[in-house]
């Protein structure tokens, strides 16, 4: 996996339409938004891990009140934990493959992300050079970091609350990362070939945390 180092600024603009978790837990949402907007410029993987560590600490403090029952997450995780199935188990949860067509370059899968109560349980900032992907947040709530190539090359990334039915189209070069506020099930459809096409924005800290 190739890596590039940049100087990035994360900001969380106020949106007119709020997710259910923002409406039901305004104090929690305000803490997260304030933390992100007050963050300093990020230069490397250690500083980025420190930022998401502060965010996940807030999630951990409020985990009891914001957690939800997520049956889709439970059902798909049960498949991931079945050793007879060729699915991927990750520190942050796992990947449940639904469909793969090599000829048509179509791949569908669920990203199952456990509630992120520490930096290990997050999807690291990454981008793809060829893959187009469509993400649908089907169950649970999260934070998604996104940026167009023209934005992140100048150091600007946006962070947003996400909830059920939110959709994101990620083109080659779009930076993205996910933090799960609750157990989270994200359906991903991509038109990439099955070869690896994942590039980290920052190198991950040498100790191996977190997973992405």
Q: Show the domains of the chain with their CATH numbers.
A: 9-200 (2.60.120.10)
**pLDDT > 80? residue 102:** no
Per-position DSSP letters for 152-209, written without gaps between them: HTTTEEEEEEE-TTEEEEE-TT-EEEEEESSSEEEEEEE-S-SS---EESSPPPTT--
What's the token pair of residue 185?
A: 């099930």
Q: What is the pLDDT of residue 131?
A: 87
The pLDDT value given to residue 101? 64
Higher pLDDT, 92 or 86: 92
Is the pLDDT reported for residue 197 higher than 90? no
- Residue 56, CA atoms < 13 Å, CB-side half-sphere: 21
Q: What is the pLDDT of residue 108?
A: 87
State residue 104's pLDDT score. Answer: 60
In residues, how long is the chain? 212
pLDDT, one tens digit per residue, over 129-166 is: 888 899 999 999 999 999 877 776 678 899 999 999 99
Helix 45-61 to helix 26-37 angle, to the nearest 10 degrees?
170
**Residue 31 CB contacts under 8 Å (≥ 6 apart), including other chains:** 58, 62
Decide if pLDDT at 178 tops 60. yes
Cis link prior to 115 (omega < 30° from 0)? Answer: no
Res 126: pLDDT: 92
Q: How far apart are the first and last CA of the chain?
A: 11
* Cβ–Cβ under 8 Å, residues 119 and 210: yes
Whether 124 has a pLDDT exceeding 70, the answer reads yes
The residue with greater pLDDT, 16 or 116, is: 116
Res. 36: pLDDT tops 90 = yes
Q: What element of type H or E holds 78?
A: helix 71-80
Would the pLDDT of 18 be above 60?
yes
Greatest extent of the chain over all pairs of C-alpha atoms, in Å: 49
Give Cα 37 to chain centroid, integer Å.
18
Query: How much is the pTM?
Result: 0.89
Residue by residue, DSSP assigns 6-38 as --BEEE----SSPPHHHHH-HHHHHHHHHHHHT
pLDDT, position 198: 87
Task: Return the number of other C-beta atoms located less than 10 Å from residue 171's C-beta.
Answer: 12
Write the pLDDT tens digit of every residue in 202-212: 888 865 443 33
Percent of the chain with pLDDT over 90: 60
Query: What is the edge-to-edge ordering of all strands in the sheet holding 184-190?
Result: 88-90, 93-101, 106-113, 184-190, 133-139, 166-170
Higher per-residue pLDDT: 88 or 102: 88
Q: According to the model, what pLDDT value does residue 141 have?
A: 97
For the cut 50, the answer to whether the pLDDT of residue 92 exceeds it is yes
Buried b (16+ CB within 10 A) or exposed e, 128-137: beebebebeb
């Amino acid at each position: 996996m190739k890596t590039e180092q940049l100087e990035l600024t994360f900001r969380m603009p106020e949106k007119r339409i709020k997710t259910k978790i923002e409406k039901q837990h305004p104090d929690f949402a305000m803490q997260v938004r304030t933390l992100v907007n007050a963050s300093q410029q990020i230069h490397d993987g250690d500083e980025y891990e420190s930022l998401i560590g502060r965010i996940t600490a807030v999630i951990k403090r409020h985990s009891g009140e914001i957690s939800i029952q997520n049956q889709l997450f439970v059902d798909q995780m049960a498949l991931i934990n079945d050793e007879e199935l060729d699915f991927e188990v990750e520190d942050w949860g796992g990947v449940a493959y639904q469909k793969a067509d090599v000829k048509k370059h179509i791949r569908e899968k669920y990203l199952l992300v456990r509630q992120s109560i520490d930096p290990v349980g997050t999807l690291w900032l990454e981008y793809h050079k060829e893959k187009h992907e469509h993400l649908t947040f089907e169950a649970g709530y999260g934070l998604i970091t996104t940026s167009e190539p023209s934005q992140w090359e100048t150091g600007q990334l946006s962070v947003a609350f996400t909830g059920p039915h939110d959709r994101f189209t990620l083109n080659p070069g779009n930076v993205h990362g996910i933090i799960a506020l609750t157990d989270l099930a994200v359906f991903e459809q991509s038109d990439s070939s099955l070869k690896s096409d994942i590039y980290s924005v920052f190198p991950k800290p040498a100790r191996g945390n977190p997973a992405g």
